[in-house]
Structure 1
Amino acid sequence: MQVLKTDLARFADIPDYPFAENWITIDLGEGFSGQMHYLDEGPKDAPPLLLFHGEPSWSFLYRKMIPLLVDAGFRCLAPDLIGFGKSDKPDDQAFYSYDRHISWQKQWRNAVVPQTAALFCQDWGGLLGLRMVGEEPDRFSCVVASNTFLPTGGGQASPGFLAWREFARVSPDFVIGDILQRATQTERSAAEVAAYNAPFPDEASKAGARAFPQLVPVEDDKPGVAANKAAWEGLSAFDKPFLTLFGEDDPVLGKAGPLLAGRIKGAEGMPHAMLSICGHFSQEDRPAELAQGMIETAKKAGFL
């Protein structure tokens, strides 16, 4: 296996992404290491907000929200998951696992922002972030979740997800920018589509993106089921403000918002919403509403 480094020249013309690069070395396992890229915007002594992206995007997804959140008083930290964005990319799909992604994300968090933080998560950002909240609830002040869930088997996946998983597994036409375009309700510009393609110059670089849908523990025999069930004990009891803002036009996870909110103590009485004209990548379609929801949730928590 090789750990690929994406040529940073591919990111030279990224629109609306004026953010400084930050890097940390991650122990990937089996003797491999890799560089994880992340954004760190706002005053270092401001309340930290973790922004976790999912599949197959990267921190570019948060470019519209970060200025609003920094203006509100947050320090915004947005990592590119290993295998995505500017971060290094193991080229073997079999090397990726749910537990390894958790380990890589925890290594980053423990080194960069060990103090209590707020969390915004979407898609696989929630499968990672919500698991972390459940395992270490005292390290989080509040949460906003969008188009995500913490699955525990049972075979209850939506037809939309099953179709997506199969597409990611076998389709020869796995063009990341086109996937983002299809999964939003607002039109992406050619430059934005190119920005989502930038991390993936060839098929080998897409190993992480191909692997992610296969790792979702929707069947009982999937790795991650037991750990997620254990994490749900802490997540269900999480009594700090927890808000769900889901895109109603998402065929994969659009109906999961009320299910998620109904299982978490801190979600009781919160102004949950299903956002119209909003697809799976809600940060593209409704960034202002998501940022405002995060701001109000943090204020309710006394964190901002």
Structure 2
Amino acid sequence: MKVLRTPDAAFADLTDYPFAPHYLEVEVPSAPPMRLHYLDEGPRHAAPILLLHGEPTWSYLYRKFVPPLAAAGHRVLAPDLIGFGKSDKPAEGADYSYERHVAWMSDWLTKLDLRDITLFCQDWGGLIGLRLVAAFPDRFARLVISNTYLPEGESIGSGFDAWRTFSQATPEFKTGRIVDGGCVRGLSSSEVAAYDAPFPDENYQAGARQFPVLVPVTPEHASVAENQAAWAVLESFTKPVVTCFGEQDKVLGHLDAEIQRRIPGAKGQPHCRIEASHFCQEDQPERLVDLILKFIAAQEP
């Protein structure tokens, strides 16, 4: 397996991203060890808030979340999935699988021995994060779920189908412009450049290209059985769960009702829809940070 590592110089002078890098080697069967990058801010003794990004972003997506959450006394962790950000990037699409990503993140989570976690997850951050919750339910205290879902072999709508088709057909995968297109507000040129930074050329984009075709939206997809098993756990998960979806997301914005219906911990919680598109972290960071802090405080003694 050929593995690429984006040069550090590609990340010089990023807008609003002053954070110290942290790295951990993650290991799974049938793959070489991978260096996974993550942010780790705030007091180490505090209960962690875990921020999981999706496709095709990286921890830069949470640059406006980390300082206020850490200032409020929380330990805040934001990893880059393998294939994204400052983490290692297998060079071939065939090197990526849903199960391998769950295994990489499981290894990271257990090596850090994170417990009493508040999870915020969006897009593939939910596809992977909800699998982590199902695998390690005792490690999670509460969930904040935004613009994501855990499909188990069923269609999740024409918006996703159009995105998947585009992702495979477009001659150039312009990451920064794709993220910009998934926001209500327009990103600045420096923000667009920051989302392009992990991918110096198309050789680094195998994961970004592959992720859309890994989502199990037909019975023939891999990981259908594993997601069904995960739902069996989630449908018994009674710890607090709140959804906050961007109402202008044409890809996944309609799926919050299913999460609320299926996870018992979502009953009676202050769910909301906000003026945002798919990348709600870019459109409404202050609103989401406030929601996270109030949701945690509501369960504190």
Q: TM-score with structure 2 length normalisation? A: 0.97
Q: Which residue of 1 aligns with 2:232?
A: 233
Q: Distance in 2 between matches of 1:158 and 1:69?
A: 34
Q: CA deviation at 1:52?
A: 0.4
The answer as to whether partners of 2:48 and 2:114 remain within 8 angstroms in 1 is: no
Q: Distance in 2 between matches of 1:34 and 1:136?
A: 22
The answer as to whether partners of 2:47 and 2:115 remain within 8 angstroms in 1 is: no
Q: Which residue of 2 aligns with 1:168?
A: 167
Q: Which residue of 1 aligns with 2:268?
A: 269
1:157 paired with 2:156, answer yes
- Runs of 4+ residues deviating >4 angstroms: none
Matches within 5 A, 1:1-304: 1-154=1-154, 156-276=155-275, 278-302=276-300
Give the letter aligned to residue 283 of structure 1: Q
Q: Distance in 2 between matches of 1:168 and 1:269?
A: 38
Aligned residue for 1:164, secondary structure, equals: helix
Give the letter aligned to residue 272 of structure 2: A
Q: CA RMSD in A?
A: 1.2
Q: CA deviation at 1:114?
A: 2.9
Q: CA deviation at 1:158?
A: 1.1
Give the letter aligned to residue 136 of structure 1: F
Aligned residue for 2:132, secondary structure, equals: helix
Q: Distance in 2 between matches of 1:83 and 1:96?
A: 9
Q: CA deviation at 1:31?
A: 4.4
Q: Does 290-299 or 183-192 show the bigger shift?
A: 290-299
Q: Distance in 1 between matches of 2:32 and 2:141?
A: 33
> C-alpha offsets along residues 221-275 of structure 1, whole Å, 9 cap, x if unaligned?
1111111111111111111110000000101001111221111111111110111
The answer as to whether partners of 1:240 and 1:301 remain within 8 angstroms in 2 is: no
Q: Distance in 1 between matches of 2:113 and 2:165?
A: 36
Q: Distance in 1 between matches of 2:55 and 2:277?
A: 14
Q: Distance in 1 between matches of 2:222 and 2:31?
A: 22
Q: Distance in 2 between matches of 1:225 and 1:143?
A: 22
Aligned residue for 1:36, secondary structure, equals: strand
The answer as to whether partners of 1:241 and 1:300 remain within 8 angstroms in 2 is: no
Q: Distance in 1 between matches of 2:260 and 2:105?
A: 24
Q: Distance in 1 between matches of 2:113 and 2:127?
A: 19
Q: CA deviation at 1:209?
A: 0.4
Aligned residue for 1:49, secondary structure, equals: strand
Q: Distance in 1 between matches of 2:168 and 2:28?
A: 23
Q: TM-score with structure 1 length normalisation? A: 0.96
What are the ranges of 5 or more consecutive residues in structure 2 without an aligned counterpart?
none
Q: Does 212-221 or 114-123 show the bigger shift?
A: 114-123
Give the letter aligned to residue 94 of structure 1: A
Q: Distance in 2 between matches of 1:142 and 1:186?
A: 29
Give the letter aligned to residue 50 of structure 1: L
Q: Distance in 2 between matches of 1:43 and 1:259?
A: 35
Q: CA deviation at 1:194?
A: 0.2
Q: Distance in 1 between matches of 2:161 and 2:293?
A: 34
Q: Does 80-89 or 19-28 show the bigger shift?
A: 19-28
Q: CA deviation at 1:113?
A: 3.7
Q: CA deviation at 1:169?
A: 1.2
Give the letter aligned to residue 33 of structure 2: S
Aligned identity (percent) is 50
Q: Does 22-31 or 170-179 show the bigger shift?
A: 22-31
Q: CA deviation at 1:301?
A: 3.0
Give the letter aligned to residue 73 of structure 2: G
The answer as to whether partners of 1:143 and 1:297 remain within 8 angstroms in 2 is: no
Q: CA deviation at 1:136?
A: 2.0
